[in-house]
């Protein structure tokens, strides 16, 4: 075979569907770890058995991995309930305890004994008890000749019945039933949920968020992105609401922490809860995202972030109030930019077209396949242009009107006031109390000058960029009364509305009754929200939902076709915030021509980035002194340097933040916390040459706890191994 033919064959093979043949791509269901995948893991250095990784019958690594909060992962590292996750995963909890007097975001927090640990009432930690394939139970009674909307409703009722039946077996557990492969398979997940979770330690932002949003999604990285919590249980080791009588939870399994370190080429396994991927995305959707949808959302978030940054830079209290909000907005904003760049660099549209051509050729090879799959790509092409129009407006509404905090508060109040259970007086009192507590939380982290500028900027963007046919009627008042001046409109709305004033809101809640909503319909903020809602509900929701249902149906059939076409090969399901494992190895990458990145960073880079005039790059003085002396003790690498982060080729996604990174022996070698900018498109297209996950080295984490914070007693709880 000559070189040209060989290259051509490899190129064609690389265009196959999301099937793991050459790269160690994929987020695998641990229960279904197949022999071929396991053999590949062993070849790369894994010494664990499948039972070590996942077992229902005895303690396994899955019992040490938790769903932290609503969208992160954590790992148990002691027999006394000690849990590690990322700093950015714990940031909301850290912020909730912070003030100008106790600025734990800037200065860090360390409980030197258990009684100093801080309670977090809204935080949960969920342990997976088991997962079960229930596809046959879900689909066995679904007729073939049924509309897609009827099918969706029938499946939903079946899912609810299954969850209800399972919940009766273990009333204290939470159950979740999720589709895989775009509705071709269904899995039931059973969780034990703990609600008494206390903050134990967090490094200062100069360590835990070093580099801030500038370094986010970027390699090389020098961020000590970790925080420490403790899970508490009742005297029988069961979940219980907070009580001073609760005791540290004893997990079925916790991971030893290795200080041996890693080398290039070492096996790595990420075990956690990746949020979402879209590997089956079609050409039409990919082009819409890269050319229209993501660029517009990037632009809108750029404007919001600029407004917030100016206020945060000039007021320390505002910086504390908006730290978590800014990070949340910025996180997707920067990821989207990297994804667009990476998809273009990888010629993703061409790759998708080639894959779809391969699928169509297969689907049209005989009458049987043609009947099931023959016209599927044509249907995508027919429906998607109309879907794009409604999708754009729906997303634009979310990124403009609903980005205004005051209008989001109106939406919450409107939903609360329309609750059908208000006839129950006792429930009404309790719900009013709960909602009032929510108002306190809202205004604790609210700065009206920011929100007013966001209001003007975002609604102006909607006014300019959305066709007039989809303008809310309230814009007529803007044009007549305020002569199109959005700043003047904002001044009037925020001066008059009760929803931007805590005292007015609290007064309303003290007198709340079923007629309160009716009285507030003339509030200027409520008028704006209802006017936008009229457009959304009257012109967008129904056609958008109808088209979404059709497209979901097409994806289900398309995915079924791919599975049939690739029968016997390894196709991983999309991530959906359920437990998965991904494996790879420690390795650098070439980011661009003549830009070749190493696989690790050291504290030398921390010192090089130090800039006291920039908040995100202010290295704490104590850390600077230790690093300059290279007083790293047992945490140093063989060359005497202290490694901060490293990268590997594990396939990860949002939700994998805080996931344990495990070596071949089942030891914790780091915490996953990010991806490289060039590889952020991995949710849609995985490129083994570019996609890397960024990991906090366990040695740096232990060094910070021990030598920087002086909290070595926490290491005494852990099993630290060489």
Q: Are strands 720-721 and 257-258 parallel, antiparallel or unpaired?
A: parallel
- Calpha distance 696→497 (Å, rounded): 46
- Calpha distance 426→597 (Å, rounded): 62
- Sequence-distant (6+) residues with CB within 8 A of 134 are 162, 177, 186, 187, 188
Instruction: State how far the alpha carbon of 440 is from the alpha carbons of 70, 256, 369, 443, 502, in Å.
Output: 22, 41, 59, 5, 8
- Sequence-distant (6+) residues with CB within 8 A of 510 are none
Is residue 208 a contact partner of residue 223, using CB atoms and an 8 Å limit? yes
Question: Closest by alpha carbon to 51, among 40, 38, 36?
Answer: 38
* Placement of tokens 């062993």 in the chain: 42
Instruction: Name the 3-class secondary structure at 601.
Output: strand
Q: List the structure tokens of 644.
A: 């901060």
Instruction: State how far the alpha carbon of 486 is from the alpha carbons of 305, 412, 456, 475, 530, in Å.
Output: 19, 24, 5, 10, 18
Phi/psi zone of residue 551: left (φ > 0), alpha (ψ -120 to 50 degrees), beta?
alpha
**Cβ atoms within 10 Å of 96's Cβ, excluding its own:** 18
Is residue 70 a contact partner of residue 174, using CB atoms and an 8 Å limit? no
Instruction: Name the 3-class secondary structure at 89.
Output: helix
- Calpha distance 395→482 (Å, rounded): 27
Q: List the structure tokens of 377.
A: 């790509």
Is residue 9 a contact partner of residue 21, using CB atoms and an 8 Å limit? no
**Enzyme catalytic residues:** 88, 225, 657
Is residue 705 a contact partner of residue 111, using CB atoms and an 8 Å limit? no
- Calpha distance 327→312 (Å, rounded): 12
Instruction: Name the 3-class secondary structure at 661.
Output: strand
The dihedrals phi and psi of 392, each to the nearest 5 degrees, come to: -60, -45
Question: Closest by alpha carbon to 660, among 20, 24, 72?
Answer: 72
Q: List the structure tokens of 185.
A: 């398979």
Q: SS3 breakdown of the chain: % helix, strand, coil, rounded to 5?
A: 50, 15, 30
711 DSSP assignment: -
């Amino acid at each position: 075979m000559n070189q040209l033919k060989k290259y051509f064959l490899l190129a064609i093979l690389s265009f196959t569907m999301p099937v793991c043949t050459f790269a160690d791509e994929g987020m695998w269901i641990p229960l279904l770890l197949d022999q071929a995948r396991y053999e590949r893991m062993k070849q790369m250095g894994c010494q664990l058995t499948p039972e070590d990784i996942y077992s229902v019958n005895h303690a396994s690594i899955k019992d040490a991995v938790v769903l932290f909060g609503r969208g992160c992962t954590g790992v148990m590292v002691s027999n006394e309930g000690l849990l590690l996750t990322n700093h950015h995963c714990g940031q909301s909890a850290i912020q909730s305890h912070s003030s100008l007097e106790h600025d734990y975001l800037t200065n860090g927090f360390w409980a030197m004994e258990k009684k100093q640990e801080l309670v977090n009432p809204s935080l949960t930690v969920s342990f997976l008890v088991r997962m079960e394939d229930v596809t046959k139970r879900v689909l066995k009674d679904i007729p073939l000749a049924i509309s897609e909307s009827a099918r969706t409703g029938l499946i939903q009722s079946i899912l609810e019945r299954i969850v209800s039946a399972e919940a009766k077996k273990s009333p204290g557990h939470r159950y979740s039933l999720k589709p895989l492969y775009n509705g071709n398979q269904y899995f039931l997940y059973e969780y034990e949920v703990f609600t008494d979770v206390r903050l134990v330690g967090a490094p200062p932002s100069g360590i835990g968020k070093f580099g801030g949003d500038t370094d986010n999604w970027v390699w090389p990285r020098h961020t000590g992105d970790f925080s420490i919590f403790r899970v508490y249980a009742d005297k029988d080791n069961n979940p219980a609401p907070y009580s001073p009588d609760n005791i540290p939870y004893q997990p079925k399994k916790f991971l030893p922490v290795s200080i041996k370190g890693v080398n290039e080429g070492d096996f790595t396994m990420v075990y956690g809860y990746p949020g979402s991927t879209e590997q089956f995305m079609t050409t039409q959707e990919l082009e819409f995202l890269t050319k229209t949808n993501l660029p517009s959302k990037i632009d809108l978030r750029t404007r919001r972030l600029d407004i917030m940054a100016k206020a945060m830079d000039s007021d320390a209290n505002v910086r504390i109030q908006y730290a978590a909000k800014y990070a949340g907005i910025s996180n997707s904003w920067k990821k989207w930019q990297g994804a667009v760049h990476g998809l273009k660099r990888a010629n993703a549209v061409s790759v998708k077209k080639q894959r779809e051509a391969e699928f169509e050729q297969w689907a049209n090879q005989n009458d049987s396949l043609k009947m099931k799959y023959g016209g599927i790509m044509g249907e995508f092409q027919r429906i998607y242009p109309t879907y794009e129009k409604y999708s754009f407006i729906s997303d634009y509404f979310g990124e403009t009107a609903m980005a205004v905090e005051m209008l989001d508060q109106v939406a919450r109040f409107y939903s609360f006031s329309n609750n059908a259970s208000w006839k129950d007086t006792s429930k009404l009192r309790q719900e009013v109390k709960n909602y009032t507590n929510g108002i306190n939380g809202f205004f604790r982290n609210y700065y009206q000058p920011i929100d007013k500028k966001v209001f003007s900027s975002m609604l102006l963007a909607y006014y300019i960029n959305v066709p007039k046919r989809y303008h809310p009627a309230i814009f007529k008042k803007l044009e007549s009364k305020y002569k199109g001046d959005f700043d003047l409109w904002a001044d009037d709305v925020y001066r008059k509305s009760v929803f931007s004033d805590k005292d007015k809101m609290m007064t309303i809640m003290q007198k709340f009754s079923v007629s309160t909503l009716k009285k507030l319909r003339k509030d200027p903020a409520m008028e704006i929200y209802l006017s936008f809602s009229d457009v959304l509900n009257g012109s967008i929701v129904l056609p958008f939902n109808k088209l979404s249902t059709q497209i979901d149906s097409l994806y289900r059939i398309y995915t079924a076709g791919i599975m049939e076409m690739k029968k016997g090969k390894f196709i991983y399901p999309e991530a959906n915030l359920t437990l998965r494992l991904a494996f790879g190895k420690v390795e650098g990458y070439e980011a661009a021509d003549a830009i070749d990145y190493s696989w690790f960073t050291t504290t030398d880079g921390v010192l090089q980035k130090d800039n006291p005039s920039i908040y995100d790059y202010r290295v704490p003085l104590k850390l600077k002194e230790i690093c300059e002396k290279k007083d790293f003790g047992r945490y140093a690498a063989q060359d005497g340097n202290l490694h901060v982060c490293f990268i590997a080729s594990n396939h990860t996604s949002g939700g994998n933040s805080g996931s344990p990174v495990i070596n071949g022996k089942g030891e914790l070698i780091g915490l996953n916390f990010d991806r490289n900018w060039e590889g952020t498109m991995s949710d849609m297209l995985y490129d083994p040459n570019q996609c890397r996950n960024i990991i906090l080295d366990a040695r740096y984490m232990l060094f910070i706890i021990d030598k920087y914070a002086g909290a070595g007693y926490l290491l005494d709880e852990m099993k630290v191994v060489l």
